[in-house]
Structure 1
């Protein structure tokens, strides 16, 4: 990666995203005006509202940023964090725009934030905050199935999404598609199977596809395929846990886990479920049998491995520690975990970074499927599952009659099976992630001046978004 990308005095996360954008933009042929339109946040809404906490009144800060309206609706999660700020929400909204373009999901990018530490509030208080946040969005037309569709993010989940959906439905009686106003909902509230684990599963699929290409693995001294690859995962939240789970299922060995209380490492491998059980019982991953513990979580990132998966928060790999990272591949499960300066050094030293805007796009991909389900008002597989089973059964019966060879009931079950919603979702996710990876890699391979996957991903997304703006007739 060339020196141009380095900003020696970065003022924030959004500037980091813009520096990546500006570097990639030189490999496109679009006008400065169009590039500025793509890069800018279209709408930034910062609001404050009061809630009652015990006998006191507390004022809560909230944000919703719509980065790009080149497609509608816009899409992006809501982050619950005491360190959330406008710069962060703007950066995450921008990444959502590029992410959706990369995986060919027809949304613009958006993001939201509520500045609270969820541990400091009761369940009733969290519900009150979430519902009040939703009302503020409704008042300014910042939410709706055709306008802006939130989703879970750090600190939020199915519970919060159900509160949002119920609040929107209450304030929009008779709106047929009201439940499409938010994704990541519980199944009982017309969510979709596979959404909760989608981001982590997508990280695992992206990593698996990256290491499957022998030509790319040879310079790293790695054999193609995930089998036996040693992996360290940072963060055991929803994304980190499912990333580790599916990477292990694909044949990788989880040798290190890092959390806020510390890190553990075992070169022979760690049993993820046993670690989770230990943490539930003791409140910490430290002290897990057979592992080496580190009180400083950052030390866990620096242990020997083939692949590092930072799946916590942004800015975890910087100039201060990138030289100590021993992994050959970084798969960015979190948004913005690697600073531009650190990324430049890692790539210059021969490493590969699977960029966040592609690597963690599994969540928005399956959110898209959920949104489609809500608009169509029918679950995937409901219409054709039995038809496919009967068609397969008729074919088997015909083959048995023609050949005289009869299959056992167990053998028939393997063949005569219509897909469930979860199987269709996982199939769609896998197809999306694999196709997008090769689109990115093809851009990189076709331009010798592009040395990393992130730049290639930005080039691809910029070109797709530019075409959308041109189709709107704004640019010739």
Structure 2
């Protein structure tokens, strides 16, 4: 079977089966972990602005309830189908397990191209979809908590929470029925950049491991490394931003209309505004245009960040990939065949199933904030600042020296919500990276980091099922 014939869900199952033989669980339990527990396929009518009636196709999949609630985004795309939603829901289960977020996996999708609908029509679709989920108990703070995904954002999440609270009046934790909301509607600061920042933290941690870097022939650290980013959406933009700000050189950026290259490095914000102004990233001042978007994937670089579509690296182009490290910021950018080719070539692939977990990690923080009904930092920020001021004053009195204004601001600073969110995300990604690497080192027969990540996930989900006593 060629990689073009694999469905997305089959690719996930193939990776799961590859890892399952390195675990201690018997076949029946592995089958339960792998299976999607509940698939809700729905059709509902909406009236378009021109008065016509259209029947909308939509899905919500709950892959696993070994932990509750289930968690996963809702995407609006005319490519949405049941197979894709099942695959993404199963990846959410494994992703949450790896980063120690206590959720089962879920995912939703509405089969529409949002660009072809007015804002009023999109609002009607979103609210009707939410009402259908409520009717079947497929949404709720302790049941299933959606989030944004491809084609959706804060606006749609605000419509969902408003619909939920209007249909469930008096539910004190109603805000926690969905994450990725605007801050004014119970959202958390730091959510927008969370996935891109998580990608950076994960890759940086791998790059800080001397034995791993020695094996692939690169110096330790991200400083000076040449990075190629495919995709200038939210994840690609922020990935490029954090790499650049931490001393890496983003030499190429690709979008669907083409790609640009500059040996001197690109500033993602300048490229973003150039695209906004001209409608394309091409012809960016000081950069060279590449004929095809996919050409960027084959450029000589240290780190490649595919942050756009599925299956962009496959059996046809994997052998041409020259990057030493591939950080999967998108969901499923490599096919199983591409994995095999890259393993033989010694390329280190940092897998999507944990690397892009920044979004769900910060969604978890938002969910906790909604349940606790208090903003992060509200209780301790001023106390910490007053304490730091007192300590600094005492040290200056004892030493007879004073610090400059910049140092004073840094030392006295008490953590704001965004500081705490970023700190929590950094800790999560560092811990998960070491868990995966330790698993890989403990079993040299494991062929790659993706398989090691699946082993970690399967062991955690299996342990949860076993401790529930479902499988004595």
2:168 corresponds to: 172
For 1:68-109, what per-residue CA distance to the aligned partner results, in whole angstroms no more than 9, with x for missing partners?
Answer: 000000000001111111100000000000000000000000
Moved more, 405-414 or 367-376: 405-414
- Give yes or no for the alignment of 1:202 onto 2:198: yes
352, 357, 362: which one aligns with 1:361: 357
Q: Does the 8 A contact of 1:256 with 1:265 survive in 2?
A: yes
1:142 corresponds to: 138
Q: Aligned runs of 1:212-291 on 2, under 5 Å? A: 212-291=208-287
Say if 1:174 and 1:326 are closer, same or farther in 2 by CA, change over 3 A: same
User: Structure 2 CA distance, aligned partners of 1:69 and 1:242?
Assistant: 32
Moved more, 390-399 or 41-50: 390-399
1:99 corresponds to: 95
Q: Does the 8 A contact of 2:231 with 2:254 survive in 1?
A: yes
User: Structure 2 CA distance, aligned partners of 1:291 and 1:34?
Assistant: 53
Q: Residue 290 of structure 1: CA displacement?
A: 2.1
1:328 corresponds to: 324
2:39 corresponds to: 44
Q: Over aligned residue pairs, what C-alpha RMSD do you find?
A: 1.4
User: Structure 2 CA distance, aligned partners of 1:117 and 1:8?
Assistant: 26
Q: Residue 409 of structure 1: CA displacement?
A: 5.3
Q: Secondary structure at the match of 1:149?
A: strand
User: Structure 2 CA distance, aligned partners of 1:315 and 1:241?
Assistant: 20
Q: Secondary structure at the match of 1:109?
A: strand
Q: How many residues align?
A: 471
Say if 1:10 and 1:40 are closer, same or farther in 2 by CA, change over 3 A: farther
Say if 1:112 and 1:26 are closer, same or farther in 2 by CA, change over 3 A: same
User: Structure 2 CA distance, aligned partners of 1:382 and 1:297?
Assistant: 46
Q: Aligned runs of 1:339-418 on 2, under 5 Å? A: 339-407=335-403, 410-418=406-414
User: Structure 2 CA distance, aligned partners of 1:454 and 1:143?
Assistant: 31
1:118 corresponds to: 114
Q: Residue 274 of structure 1: CA displacement?
A: 1.4
2:8 corresponds to: 13
Q: Secondary structure at the match of 2:101?
A: coil
For 1:200-245, what per-residue CA distance to the aligned partner results, in whole angstroms no more than 9, with x for missing partners?
Answer: 1101111111111121112322111111111111111111111111
Q: Does the 8 A contact of 1:10 with 1:16 survive in 2?
A: no
1:3 corresponds to: none
- Give yes or no for the alignment of 1:108 onto 2:78: no
Q: Does the 8 A contact of 1:78 with 1:114 survive in 2?
A: yes
Q: Does the 8 A contact of 2:196 with 2:236 survive in 1?
A: yes
Q: Secondary structure at the match of 2:223?
A: coil
For 1:421-458, what per-residue CA distance to the aligned partner results, in whole angstroms no more than 9, with x for missing partners?
Answer: 00000000000001100000000001010121111110
Consecutive unaligned residues of structure 1, counting only runs of 5 or more, are 1-5
1:129 corresponds to: 125
Q: Residue 361 of structure 1: CA displacement?
A: 0.4
User: Structure 1 CA distance, aligned partners of 2:447 and 2:195?
Assistant: 26
User: Structure 1 CA distance, aligned partners of 2:377 and 2:3?
Assistant: 52
1:32 corresponds to: 27
1:472 corresponds to: 468
Q: Does the 8 A contact of 1:7 with 1:19 survive in 2?
A: no
Moved more, 7-16 or 301-310: 7-16
For 1:87-145, what per-residue CA distance to the aligned partner results, in whole angstroms no more than 9, with x for missing partners?
Answer: 00000000000000000000000000011111101111111111111111111000000
Q: Residue 387 of structure 1: CA displacement?
A: 1.1
Q: Secondary structure at the match of 2:304?
A: strand
Q: Secondary structure at the match of 1:232?
A: strand
Say if 1:265 and 1:387 are closer, same or farther in 2 by CA, change over 3 A: same
User: Structure 2 CA distance, aligned partners of 1:89 and 1:201?
Assistant: 25
Q: Secondary structure at the match of 1:347?
A: helix
Q: Normalising to structure 2: TM-score of the pair?
A: 0.97
Q: Residue 249 of structure 1: CA displacement?
A: 1.0
Q: Does the 8 A contact of 1:25 with 1:459 survive in 2?
A: yes
Q: Does the 8 A contact of 1:80 with 1:118 survive in 2?
A: yes
Moved more, 212-221 or 441-450: 212-221
Q: After the TM superposition, which segments of 4 or more aligned residues of structure 1 sit over 6 Å from their partners?
A: 6-9
Q: Does the 8 A contact of 2:3 with 2:335 survive in 1?
A: no
